[in-house]
Structure 1
C-alpha cells in the first residue's frame, strides 16, 4: 500500500456558501397545501460549497450548482460513471479540460428521498466539497411503530476527503506536463450506517453510528463516527453533532425523513480532524437508508428481534 497523498485545505469559508435547497424530481419544495416545506434547507456547514443539485435517477442525469473559489457561482453537468460506483451509490463526474478541476459526485434515491456528496480532487492546494439531501412530498411520520416507537435504518455510507485518490477518471495530459498543475481525483470514504429513530411524543429523537469506515483507494481504516442524539422536528428534519470514539466533537450532521410512514432517512455530515492517522483532514459524506422491515431494508436488519 503506497503512502497516502498530501492534504488539501478547504477552498472557502463555509459561512460564505450559505444554506441551500436542492432541486429533485418535479416537486416545488412545498407540501402542496401551503404547509411546512417538503424540501427543507440544508444547513450551511453541511452543504459546504454545494448550493443545489438537479438529479433524475430514471434518466441518470445530474446537474450541480455551487459556490467555488472566492464565492464564484458555478453550474456543472455531470456524466454518469458506473465504473466509479460505490455500494448503494451512483457515481457522476465532471471535468472541463485536462488542466481543470475534476469533480466526483455520489448520489442515491429511495422513495423520492435522496442524498448526495460532491468533491473535487486537489488542485493548487485547494478543494471544493459539499453535500445535499432532500425529498419529494411532505414529512409523513409512521402512525404506529414497534419497540415503543423506535425504528432502525441501516445501509451504506459514502464520503469524500480533502485528499487525492486514484486518478483513473482524469482527462489525459501531455507527457512531461509538470505535476504541479495537474488536478487530482478525490479520495472516497466508504462505510456502513445504523440509525435509530424514535417517533411520537415521548421519543422524538434520532441517533446513530457510521462504522467500518475506510478510504476506498488505500484501504486505510478510519475511526467510527457517532451521531449524537438530537431532536426530530415537526417537519421531519434533524441536526446534531458528530463524535469520535474518544468523545471529541468533530463536526455536525443533518438530515430528514421521507417516504410513506418515514420509510427512508437521508442525511449528510461535515467533520474535520477526526482521523488519528491523518492531519488536517476534512470529510463530507452522505447516507440514504431504508427502514428495517421495509422493501429497502439492509441485511443488518435481519435480527432475532427486529
Structure 2
C-alpha cells in the first residue's frame, strides 16, 4: 500500500490540490496553448518546480501533436505515463547475519526519530533483525532524549553520549557495540542544521568515512527524511544532503496532511533519488512501501 486507503475529505491530500485542478481545466475546454500554460502553472503549484513542470508539459505537447490527441482521457493517460516515467522506487532491506548501518538524514522537525521507530518496527516484523539505535544528533539534547524514548517504545538499545559530543564517535561506538551484542541493523540519527550548511556537510562526510571504514560486508544506506508539506524546500534539502553523502533513498513523512504531491516527481527527475517509504500517521505501523501506481491514482484522480 502507498498509505491507508481511507476516504479523503474534500480539500485534503494531493487529489484536492492537483487532480481536481486538472479536472476543472479540462472542463473549461480551453485552446491548447491556454491548456499547456495553465497545466504548467498547476504542476508548479503542485510542487514540481518550474523546470520540471516545463519539461513535462513540453513532452506532453510533443505527444499530443505527434499522435493528434484530442480527447481528455487520452491526454490524461499520456500525462500519467510521462510522470510515471520519472518515478523511482526502491526496497531497502538489511542483510541477515551481518551488521548493516542505515544513516537517517534530514533537517530538524521532519520526523526523523519517529521514522526511526517506524523503520525499526517494520524491519523487526518483516525481517526479524536485531536493531540498535545510535543517537548521532548530539547537537540537540532533545534529539538524544527523543531517541531514547523511541528506544524504550520499540524495545531497542540506544547508544548515546552527552550533549555536544562528537557525532562520529557515537557512530563508531555504536558499530563496535552492535558487533559485540550481535545486532544486525543500526538505525543512526544525525543532525540537520541546514542553517550551517558547511559544518553539516563536513560532519556527515566524517560520519560517512567512519561507517565505510568500520562496516564489513553489510548494507550501508543513507536515508533522507522529507516532510511532504515543505514543497520546493524539500528539493533544496535533498540537494544539500545528496551533495554531502550521496542519498540512497527518501522517506516522505506527513503525506496524508495537505501535501500537493509533486515534490516526489521533482526529486526523482532532478536528483534521481528513489522513494522507499511513505509515512502516513503517528503509529509505529504507519509506514508503507512507496507505490508509484497508487501515488499516481491519487495525484491525477479526476473524480
Q: TM-score range by the shorter chain?
A: under 0.3
Give 1 or 2: higher strand fraction. Answer: 1
Using the size of structure 1 for normalisation, the TM-score is 0.26
Structure with the larger RCO, 1 or 2 (CA within 8 Å, 6+ apart): 2
